Structure 1
Amino acid sequence: MRGIRSLNNIPKRCYAAARRSQALTEPLSVRKPTTPAAPLPPQNVQVSKLPNGLVIASLENYSPMSSVGVFVKAGSRYETVENQGVSHVMRLAANLTNKDASGFKLCRSVEALGGSMSVTSSRETTVYAAECMRDHLDSLMEFLVSVTSAQEFRPWEVNDLTPRVKIDKALAQQCPQIGVIEKLHEAAYKNTLSNSLYCPDHMVGRISSDQLQSFVESNFITGRMALVGLGVKHSVLRQVAEGLLSTRSGAGAPVAKAVYRGGELRIQNNDQLVHSLIASEGGVSGSAEANAFSVLQRILGAGPHVKRGANITSKLSQGIAKATTQPFDATAFNASYTDSGLFGIYTIAQAHSSGEVIKAAIAQIQSVAKGNVSDADVSRAKNQVKAEYLMSLESSESLLEEIGTQALTTAAYQLPDSVLQAVDAVTHDDVVKAANKFMNGKKTMAASGYLSNTPFLDEL
């Protein structure tokens, strides 16, 4: 057998048969050239509202991937003193056993479909989003509906969430930015928006199944929900909404309005980098004043536009660099809600130079309030606002969030052209007026770090 070579080593020769028909340069007569199918016409966002108050919005973009989201007015602002932290636990309890499927079945079934599900929450909304191939959307929708309308909250499973709540809080506490923003809201408002996105220490492990179920029955109702889809027909969403999502109908209790008060909270530790945030009441989301604050934010500086680059067009960076030679970082802060808003400056500096950095940053806003801003600066800032908005819509996640937020808040959708026109309508005087509102308004301050050289609010 030593003389027999392996079959893989036997040399092979391939020969092509001679072509006896027409020349190779001539097309085949038996095949007719095919014309490509005409592209489907683009669709506009469709929005409708059912008699029970549920809002449905869809955009058929003919994508092979479909995205669906259930938007609920169930953020932390809807918590009470008795159930503080319930929205945080709700976010972690999305994959627990419900009336239709166990947690194990839910996880394995979504994976088998090649899909994904996620839950995010803010101070105003909780969003349950799912994404999969268009062919499997019907199956994934069933699991999404069961997660949002058939919660069960078994006590032993809820108790098992306590370590995850602690981990979430520990990770958040390691980030000074999160801590300062949370303290800013706590100091700025008397109610609603003062509630933290994270469960308070005294409520960790004390959120019961009954409290979770009560929160669901009060907030997960058709009058406070919106069903949004990308790459799905509007009729399909409407059918799902009329059938499966109509188990809890109603408008819900009236929502308390946020009351701005101003104040100061300081987190003293040994960190040599001081994070400080000084703000006053800003514009309501969707208003012309909010657009003016957005333009003012870009004039002052909203972060570098080139990776690892310097924000050379930032008024804050230019002004602070003249006042100190110490390293620093300064950006404008802007947050808008349905009934209030916050606008201010966020600075990071060494502990020994934090005071001069903060005062130099405020001096720049004061300069804008006096009219020391050119039309070229305003035009550049408006271009940045429009570009950032349009680029965000290129992502399916951001587009779903934009459509869902508008549908949940106004039961309508504003086309991008209208948004751009609203930004273009911001004038030089509007920007100056927004800066004056910050300077003359009641201030709120939150700071974290070694604060021996950080001024108090009444010293600014």
Structure 2
Amino acid sequence: MRPWLLSLPQSGPCGVTALAAATARRALPGALAGRLGRAAYSTDAPAGQESAMDKFFSQAASRSPGHRFPVDLPPPEVIIPGYSSESPSSSDKARTTPILQPLPGFAGGPDAPAPVTNSNSLSNQLFKTQLTTLPSGLKVATTRTGAVVINTGVFVRSGTRYDNLPHSGLAQYLDLHALRGTTNLPHDMVSKRIIELGGMLTFGSDRELTICQTSVMPADLYKSHEFISDIIRNPLFSEAAHEECTYLAPEQLRMLEEMPTNYAGNDLLHQVAFGGRTSDGVYTGGRPLGQALATSTPPSLDAVRQFHANLFRPENALVAFVGGVDHDQMVDLVHDMYETQPWRTPDPQVVDPSTIITNANAEYIGGEFWAPSQPPNAMEPLPTSHLVLGFESPGYNDPAFFALSVATFLLGGGASFSSGGPGKGVFTRLYRNVLCRHPWVNLAFSHSMPYRETGIFYVYASFSQGREKQMARIVLHELMGLMHVLPEELQRAKNQLRSAIFMGLESSVNNLDDTGRQCLYYSSRMSAEETIARLDAVTTDDLAMVAQRLLGLPGCLDYRFNVPPRVSDILDDNATSPWGSKGFCPTIITLSDTPNTAITSDFLLSNFR
């Protein structure tokens, strides 16, 4: 490397771009190097004279393509407006301005012009959500943004919690059937339509919702909903497609079981936490996301068809749009595509409607489960155990929901190696107190999953085999530590959560998901300002009460959480919260080498100090 590349001129700031451009020119053909050089370098010279740099690049352009530049190439002089070598005062200002202070003349600096504001500008209309309910009960929600691409989708109250009694896996089979043809389009035409729309269409279910969404240009919006409406209302449910689904469903579950973080922290956790029956003898929240491999036969085609007809109803659905859209126009579009078209109705001759759940409440029961851990593999080359310790938590209608969210971010966590680089999450308690102090811990994080009437909060840990009891004590100690939170810790957790919220809203896909879920859950959407107000209202006393309720300590059920006025219209502040009323009732999942290493409630209770 030439010496001048290591000592760039000090008469004015020089950017990395100039360094990269100069390095790249060393091996470029002469003519291309000449054009690149003139674009990046100063060519100031008296009128009518050719500058030294112009002369140099003119010679370079005439050389052979493989010719390299001479060693005595003069250092480049990069011109930045206001900071050239001929304006030392500006350069001095740049060098003497503290890094946390804006440079003079730039946005926020002392010489910057005042921002122009206009109360009637389009910016004041952005990120506002509007909601309309059509006569059939179908909802239309729009969030206007400045994006050209429109994200849109249909949200339906469906999912595994609505599986009927004889079967599990109905939601999974519905997902597999959805894009395998409609009554109007065969399978190959469905694939062709998806490609025509850019190949950006997904259809999937979780425990409470089924979502079909896509991203399209404005010109394709009408065509996309013509297609989505057909998928939602008229899936084909052919015998041939059902045979394919019967083969694919178990394979999906086997792939899930090979990922302990997703399997133990999701399906297993829910089956143990909500796996019992309600007082009506009905399974609800504990239904697995897919067909239970060992305990269930595949659902029949008639059962899948009836499951769709019972739940995919206009009053059960919402169509959402995020982008540069007009609300009234979107309401007209949805009216044409969904309101005037027929929806399927349940057929009592096929399946008894009384066996299909439509509004059952999930009931948390807790419990213990042990299974052998996976043998060493490429992802986990050493013998590894996994522990999931969960507790009942508030649902998204509970006034304590935001306090739990702050507590989750305060605990945080991460992995012993982060692909995002060092420093990510290092100020959270699980990172500082667990990962940094115990080198045998590979992974530790906290997470909460709220539902309509309840939820589950858990801490997941992956660690070296033989340390199961030690890991359980550590996790329990950290949960009890939520009763003693310093004000600066609380503020840091709020800042992290606030940052995550606003960063998430930068994504149109996340914005669509947030619009659809909130409008379907609350019939309203909480603005970012209202969300921040709710976060700011959380106190250290709120976190202490959340911890006490999670652990089922007596005397904590009468505590009233602070809810700002506007937020109290959305959250059910007057509802009696059932969580914490069962006492100490954990859900424990242990994946280890032998059953005698499984963690039990009695062991945790003996360490509960």
Question: TM-score normalised to the size of structure 2?
Answer: 0.65
**Alpha-carbon contact 1:58-1:228 (below 8 Å) kept:** yes
In structure 2, the residue matched to 1:10 is none
Tell me whether 236-245 or 402-411 shows the greater mean CA deviation: 236-245
Q: AA paired with 2:366? A: G
Structure 2 residues without counterparts, runs of 5 or longer:
1-119, 277-282, 347-355, 376-382, 553-583, 605-609
Q: 1:278 Cα shift?
A: 0.8
Tell me whether 193-202 or 317-326 shows the greater mean CA deviation: 317-326
In structure 1, the residue matched to 2:47 is none
* Aligned equivalent of 1:336, options 431, 450, 466: 450
Counterpart CA distance in 2 for 1:411 and 1:357 is 42
In structure 2, the residue matched to 1:443 is 586
- Quick one: structure 1 residues 139 and 260, their matched pair in 2 at CA, closer, same or farther if it must change by over 3 Å? same
In structure 1, the residue matched to 2:303 is 211
In the TM superposition, what are the counterparts of 1:42-81 in structure 2 within 5 Å? 42-43=125-126, 44-81=128-165
- Quick one: structure 1 residues 313 and 200, their matched pair in 2 at CA, closer, same or farther if it must change by over 3 Å? same
- Quick one: structure 1 residues 127 and 342, their matched pair in 2 at CA, closer, same or farther if it must change by over 3 Å? same
Counterpart CA distance in 2 for 1:203 and 1:357 is 31
Q: Secondary structure at the match of 2:551?
A: helix
In structure 2, the residue matched to 1:11 is none
In the TM superposition, what are the counterparts of 1:281-430 in structure 2 within 5 Å? 281-303=392-414, 307-309=420-422, 311-320=425-434, 324-369=438-483, 372-430=484-542
Structure 1 residues without counterparts, runs of 5 or longer:
1-37
In structure 2, the residue matched to 1:5 is none
**Alpha-carbon contact 2:390-2:457 (below 8 Å) kept:** yes
In structure 2, the residue matched to 1:8 is none
1:184 aligns with 2:258: no
- Quick one: structure 1 residues 312 and 72, their matched pair in 2 at CA, closer, same or farther if it must change by over 3 Å? same
1:94 aligns with 2:178: yes
Q: 1:255 Cα shift?
A: 0.4
Counterpart CA distance in 2 for 1:454 and 1:353 is 11
Counterpart CA distance in 2 for 1:128 and 1:323 is 44
Q: 1:155 Cα shift?
A: 1.3
In the TM superposition, what are the counterparts of 1:233-252 in structure 2 within 5 Å? 233-246=326-339, 247-248=342-343
Q: 1:392 Cα shift?
A: 0.7
- Quick one: structure 1 residues 144 and 420, their matched pair in 2 at CA, closer, same or farther if it must change by over 3 Å? same
- Quick one: structure 1 residues 307 and 74, their matched pair in 2 at CA, closer, same or farther if it must change by over 3 Å? same
Q: AA paired with 1:234? A: H
**Alpha-carbon contact 1:282-1:341 (below 8 Å) kept:** yes
Q: AA paired with 2:496? A: Q
- Quick one: structure 1 residues 447 and 357, their matched pair in 2 at CA, closer, same or farther if it must change by over 3 Å? same
Counterpart CA distance in 2 for 1:322 and 1:97 is 52
In the TM superposition, what are the counterparts of 1:123-272 in structure 2 within 5 Å? 123-181=207-265, 182-189=267-274, 190=276, 191-201=283-293, 206-231=298-323, 232-246=325-339, 247-248=342-343, 254-269=358-373, 271=375, 272=383
Counterpart CA distance in 2 for 1:229 and 1:322 is 44
**Alpha-carbon contact 1:165-1:204 (below 8 Å) kept:** no
**Alpha-carbon contact 2:395-2:454 (below 8 Å) kept:** yes
* Aligned equivalent of 1:122, options 206, 211, 232: 206
Deviations 1:103-148 (A, max 9, x none): 2112112312435210122100010002211111111111110000
Q: 1:340 Cα shift?
A: 0.5
Q: AA paired with 2:334? A: A
Deviations 1:194-242 (A, max 9, x none): 0011111258773222112101111000111000012233233322332
Counterpart CA distance in 2 for 1:320 and 1:110 is 46
User: Larger Rg: 1 or 2?
Assistant: 2
Q: AA paired with 2:284? A: T
Q: Secondary structure at the match of 2:400?
A: helix
Counterpart CA distance in 1 for 2:413 and 2:328 is 41
Counterpart CA distance in 1 for 2:298 and 2:458 is 35
Question: TM-score normalised to the size of structure 1?
Answer: 0.85
**Alpha-carbon contact 1:278-1:444 (below 8 Å) kept:** yes
